[in-house]
């Protein structure tokens, strides 16, 4: 008879869930993970990983069509949509298999189905429509001293703008389209919306982005988003900020969108497809949270610094525990959670230290306070900037359009925030994340030796600029 009792049961196998399970197993806990759809969750299967595979194909296509810029020749460059998508799905499958391997390696039991919490320490799992992986346990009653809720999120649906799977897409359909649209409307300019806008525009679609807020990439520093917007528009993307899509009229194979432009005017735009990218909402339904007395505030499970909910023995991590809704935030919360359960006394999450990355072209990355937020807090600040135009490696790569911006506390030299736009900045930002975690001062950063030639030199130059010591501009 299958064992139904565990030390920790985790509901959800996305980045938060599977990383939490692995760390718990490393700490000696007997662990099970409940999953209803995809091992690895949305991120591995329909989010972070496969979108980057699509964007990589778009990047290579862009380079091939601009081969002449590098003294090369490439004739009759084209792309096969089915092959591009097949590669993306193959990458997702490889990572999904990898998570399954890690479960086996760490002796983590998979329970397949839909979980509901009956009481602290007790869950019931009902059958799922998806086919269970080999070796998974099925529906039934299970017990665990600690239950960690990590079911992730789903696309947010606005009335009248909901995805229908054919003409109006969510990220599911946008990642596996029935056709490559010649024209596309993207509603929302956060990371998901801008990444898909960038992908489809690079492959030749006429793309219009509508954002209800005054700026695109709303969480980013205003100067950085303005730089990115200029680059997107130079690529041919049409962007309408402070605007709102009020109606979608569907035809047989196209959609007519009514858009209020925010200036008192209204226009209609006909496109092949629409992507609704207005955010995500946590999967808090169906878990019996209200019955259990678990506090939920506006769709978010309320937790303390160690991911405890208002009910002993029940914890929450990731998207259901509130923004920022990022895979790496979920992973780190899970590690904090199980290490606290073990009694290791980890540091609580500091959300200012969570980097954000958008993998459009050019890329955008940031950590800490924006200039506006620092000023709102009435901090006395120094701001440094350095453009990629002054960096030898960026020029050699043909990637001279970018900017690094840093914000320091004038009194203490503390790095308060860092913001970047340009090639590979999603890889560079971690340097500033480490610096902030180590409480590195401006003097220490200025005395650090950065290898030459690298794009990372722009980071040091931005620091130098904040203190009037910039060298290469």
Active site residues: 452
- The β-bridge partners of 416 are none
Structure confidence at residue 3 (pLDDT): 83
pLDDT tier at 380 (50, 70, 90 boundaries)? very high
Structure confidence at residue 378 (pLDDT): 97
Residue 1 in this model has a pLDDT that exceeds 90: no
Residue 338 in this model has a pLDDT that exceeds 60: yes
Structure confidence at residue 179 (pLDDT): 87
pTM confidence score: 0.95
pLDDT in tens, 10-32: 999 999 999 999 999 999 999 99
pLDDT in tens, 423-468: 999 999 999 999 999 999 999 999 999 999 999 999 999 999 999 9
Pick 61 or 179 by higher pLDDT: 61
Region 380-394: what's the mean pLDDT? 98
**Mean pLDDT of all residues belonging to the chain:** 96
Separation of alpha carbons 435 and 414, rounded Å: 10
Structure confidence at residue 59 (pLDDT): 97
Region 63-71: what's the mean pLDDT? 97
Residue 207 in this model has a pLDDT that exceeds 60: yes
pLDDT in tens, 226-265: 999 999 999 999 999 999 999 999 999 999 999 999 888 9
Structure confidence at residue 178 (pLDDT): 84
């Amino acid at each position: 008879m299958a064992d139904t009792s565990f030390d920790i049961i985790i509901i959800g196998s996305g980045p938060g869930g599977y990383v939490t399970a692995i760390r718990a197993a490393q700490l000696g806990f007997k662990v099970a993970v409940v999953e209803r759809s995809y091992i690895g969750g949305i991120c591995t299967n329909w989010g972070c990983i496969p979108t980057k595979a699509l964007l990589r194909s778009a990047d290579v296509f862009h380079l091939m069509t601009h081969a002449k810029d590098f003294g090369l020749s490439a004739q009759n460059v084209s792309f096969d949509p089915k092959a591009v998508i097949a590669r993306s799905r193959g990458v997702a499958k490889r990572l999904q298999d990898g998570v399954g391997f890690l479960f086996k390696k760490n002796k983590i039991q998979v329970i397949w189905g839909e979980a509901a919490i009956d009481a602290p320490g007790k869950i019931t799992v009902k059958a799922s429509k998806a086919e269970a992986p080999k070796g998974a346990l099925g529906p039934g009653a299970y017990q665990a001293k600690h239950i960690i809720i990590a079911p992730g999120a789903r696309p947010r649906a606005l009335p009248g703008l909901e995805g229908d799977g054919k003409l109006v897409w969510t990220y599911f359909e946008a990642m596996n389209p029935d056709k490559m649209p010649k024209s596309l409307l993207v509603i929302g300019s956060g990371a998901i919306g801008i990444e898909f806008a960038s992908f489809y525009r690079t492959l030749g679609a006429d793309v219009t982005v509508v954002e209800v807020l005054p700026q695109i990439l709303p969480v980013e520093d205003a100067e950085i988003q303005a730089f990115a917007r200029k680059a997107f528009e130079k690529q041919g993307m049409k962007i309408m900020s402070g605007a709102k899509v009020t109606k979608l009229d569907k035809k047989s194979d196209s959609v007519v969108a009514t858009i209020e432009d925010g200036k008192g005017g209204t226009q209609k735009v006909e496109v092949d497809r629409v992507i609704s990218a207005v955010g995500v909402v946590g999967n808090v339904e169906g878990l019996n949270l209200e019955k259990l007395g678990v506090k939920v505030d506006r769709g978010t499970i309320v937790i303390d610094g160690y991911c405890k909910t208002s009910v002993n023995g029940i914890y929450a991590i990731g998207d259901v525990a509130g923004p920022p809704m990022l895979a790496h935030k979920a992973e780190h919360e899970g590690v904090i959670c199980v290490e606290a359960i073990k009694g290791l006394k980890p540091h609580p999450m500091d959300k200012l230290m969570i980097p954000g990355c958008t993998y459009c072209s050019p890329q955008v990355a940031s950590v800490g306070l924006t200039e506006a937020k620092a000023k709102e807090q009435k901090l006395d600040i120094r701001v440094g900037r350095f453009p990629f135009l002054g960096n030898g490696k960026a020029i050699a790569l043909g990637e001279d359009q970018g900017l690094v911006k840093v914000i320091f506390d004038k009194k203490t030299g503390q790095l308060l925030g860092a913001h970047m736009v340009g090639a590979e900045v999603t890889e560079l930002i971690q340097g500033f994340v480490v610096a902030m975690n180590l409480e590195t001062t401006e003097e220490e950063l200025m005395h650090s030796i950065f290898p030459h030639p690298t794009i990372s030199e722009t980071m040091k130059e931005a620091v130098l600029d904040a203190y009037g010591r910039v060298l290469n501009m």
